[in-house]
């Protein structure tokens, strides 16, 4: 299957039902999280459903996403939780800015 050049790639972190964290990469985030939750995702998450998406980053290239995925997988659990927290704070800041721009 040939993919268009405008496809974006994502790395993501999900929390499994047992509290473990799983990091992955995809070009369709909604489809991938749905696959994890229906038992059709990776072997790691199959017995740990449901999973909840906690964090994601968007990339314009597969190679950029792959490099970041490897880097995030090397983080400790504590570092991943810090990354997730910073991502949430950043999202809240963006939302406040958007709200300020809307009249």
pLDDT tens for residues 77-95? 999 999 999 988 776 645 4
9-101 CATH: 3.40.1440
Encode pLDDT of 6-61 as tens digits: 789 999 999 999 999 999 999 999 999 999 999 888 889 888 899 999 999 999 99
Domain boundaries, the chain: 9-101
Whether this model's pTM surpasses 0.85? no
The predicted pLDDT at position 2 comes to 55
Sign of the CA dihedral running 57, 63, 67, 69: positive
Phi and psi torsions of 25, nearest 5° = -140, 145
């Amino acid at each position: 299957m040939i993919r268009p050049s405008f496809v974006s790639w994502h790395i993501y972190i999900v929390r499994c039902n047992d509290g473990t964290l799983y990091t992955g990469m995809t070009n369709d985030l909604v489809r991938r999280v749905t696959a994890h939750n229906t038992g059709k995702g990776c072997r790691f998450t199959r017995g740990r459903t449901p999973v909840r998406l906690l964090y994601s980053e968007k990339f314009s290239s597969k190679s950029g996403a792959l490099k970041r995925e490897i880097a995030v997988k090397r983080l400790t659990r504590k570092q991943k939780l810090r990354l997730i927290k910073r991502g949430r704070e950043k999202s809240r800041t963006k939302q406040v800015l958007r709200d300020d721009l809307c009249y």
